[in-house]
Amino acid sequence: MMSGETAVLEVDKPSPVGNGSRSSDLSNGSTSFEGSVIASPSIESFSTLPDQEDLEFNIDVDAGDLQVRVDNPQKHFDTLETYVSFRICTRVNMEVRIEFKESEYIVRRRYNDFVWLRQKLIEAFPTHLVPPLPGKHTLLAQLDRYSKSFVLARLAMLHRFLTRVVSHPVLSYNSSLYVFLTATPSEFLIHRKNGPGILGRVTDSLQNLTTTYLVRQRSPEFDSVRDYVNTFGEKLNQMEKVGRRLHKERQAYQGELNQFQQTFSLWATSEPELSPLLKAISSAIERNLQAQQTSLIDLFSPSFEQPLKEYLLYVDAVKETLQRRDAVQIEYEIAVDELNKKRNEKEQLVNNEGLSSGAGSAFSLWKNPAEARDEKIEKLSQLIPNLVRQAEENQDKMQCANENLLSDLERWHIEKKKDIRGLLLNMASQQIQFYQDVLASWEQVIPEVRCNNQTAASGTVDSIPSSTSMQTSTQSSTTHVI
């Protein structure tokens, strides 16, 4: 059975199940990688994505040729580990994406499979901005990684990651993405077992270059990008800290409101004459408490905190991509340095300056200095064209890397502005709604206050002195004091 704090169900029972159709619906039961049948939770209960009732989403030409959805988390037990898998539903516009054999696919992937996909995309496109994944759970959070909040937060970020990948004009055509979206468990396991290929080793070597060398003349455009992401990351960290502090303070304020509400309720039972007024105030405080819970506290939990964390991860992804772009430029600079070195060496030899007397005496043991110089000039003449070709190729790679990164950064800026604008507008609307709810709750108390004032005035009218006598008494008292 499912508890209120658990987002996924346990394994029902191990049972051999056939592969079935690749595009069949797996909402009532699905096959894990080990062949165990998993009891699925309902999509409505656990998915944070809208319109999850069924797989009825149509291909929109403007939205792209691929549409994906990540939902339906399930918990699996293995002999060595326990993990959560997610259902991935894919719809394909086969008129455009002819490499797909079917118009619809349903597969199950776990978090580590998403990590594998992202690494493959980085290996294939090192200078493209690959969207980030949610971070791994820490050792301190081991016990919470199956909680409803953790699983749903990871599900939402995995959905956004995959949506961004399939909408990318370059990443969406990668063969590893095709395998990720379409392969059966056995086929996908074979692909995952394959180690990194040549592209992976090249990417690693480029990454290592930045730890050994420094870029001499980086484009000012990329320096400004690096400064921008550093400043942007600092601002996001500050917003997250402020949000956490406000969340903590409002939780304390919520506790105080709860105490006030209980105090006025108890007071109303002991004061019959003031009971209607006290009950009205207690009800107003209770409505304020509800407004705090629905409008402000939620603002700094998943709806506000998750996008901030996601863009902090995006900042790291941009920095990593800048580092890989720098590695391509370093490779070009190394090739140019080697070319200039060989050219200078050849020029010195041609001008009879390349072989010193010591070197000449050493070469004279086997051949005369002139023959040694001519032989070395000949080798350099054969080597320099290859170095020129290599430098030109590296220059082309650097230009392509610059164009790839700049186009992805432009796309990222547009998406970032849209997301943050929506986040801030949502914050403002929730704040407005909160103050409207608070104002409405206290306006409902006003009639009761007026009624209480009228009752008090009518009950004590005989005992109240006239205004003239009160004024005379006040003046005499003031004169006495003076």
> Under a CB-based contact definition with an 8 Å cutoff, are residues 319 and 130 in contact?
no
Q: Which residues lie closer than 8 Å to 258 by C-beta, 6 or more apart?
A: 289
- Check residue 453 and give its pLDDT: 76
118-131 burial, b for 16+ CB within 10 Å, e for fewer? bbbbbbbbbbbbbb
Question: Across the strands, what pairs with 270?
Answer: none
What are the residue ranges spanned by the domains of the chain?
Answer: 58-199, 201-350+371-455
Give, for 83, the enclosing helix (H) or strand (E).
strand 82-92
Joined together, the tokens standing for residue 156 give 């939402």
- Check residue 20 and give its pLDDT: 38
Parallel/antiparallel/unpaired status of strands 82-92 and 36-38? unpaired
Instruction: Please tell me what DSSP assigns to residue 465.
Output: P
Residue 98, helix vs strand vs coil: coil
Domain 58-199's class?
A: alpha beta
Q: Rounded distance, CA 277 to CA 257, Å?
A: 17
Q: Indicate the burial class of 29 (C-beta count within 10 angstroms; 0-12, 13-18, 19 or more).
A: middle
Q: Rounded distance, CA 353 to CA 346, Å?
A: 10
Q: Which residues lie closer than 8 Å to 481 by C-beta, 6 or more apart?
A: none
Question: Across the strands, what pairs with 76?
Answer: 83
> Under a CB-based contact definition with an 8 Å cutoff, are residues 378 and 346 in contact?
no
Q: Give me the tens of pLDDT residue by residue for the chain, a chain 482 residues long.
A: 444 444 454 443 343 333 334 443 333 333 333 333 333 443 333 444 444 444 445 444 455 689 999 999 998 887 888 889 999 999 999 888 899 999 999 999 999 999 999 999 999 999 999 999 988 765 445 556 777 888 888 999 999 999 999 999 999 999 999 999 999 999 999 888 876 555 555 555 655 655 567 777 778 888 999 999 999 999 988 888 887 788 788 888 888 888 988 998 899 888 888 888 888 888 888 888 888 777 665 555 566 777 888 899 999 999 999 999 999 999 999 999 999 999 998 888 888 755 554 444 444 455 677 788 888 888 989 999 999 999 999 999 999 999 999 999 999 999 999 988 888 888 888 888 888 888 988 888 888 888 877 776 776 544 444 444 434 443 443 333 33
Joined together, the tokens standing for residue 35 give 């062949």
Joined together, the tokens standing for residue 243 give 């949000």
Q: Which residues lie closer than 8 Å to 63 by C-beta, 6 or more apart?
A: 167
Which CATH number describes the domain made up of 201-350+371-455? 1.20.1270.60
Q: Which residues lie closer than 8 Å to 273 by C-beta, 6 or more apart?
A: none
Joined together, the tokens standing for residue 59 give 């291909």
Quick check: do 58-199 and 201-350+371-455 share a fold? no
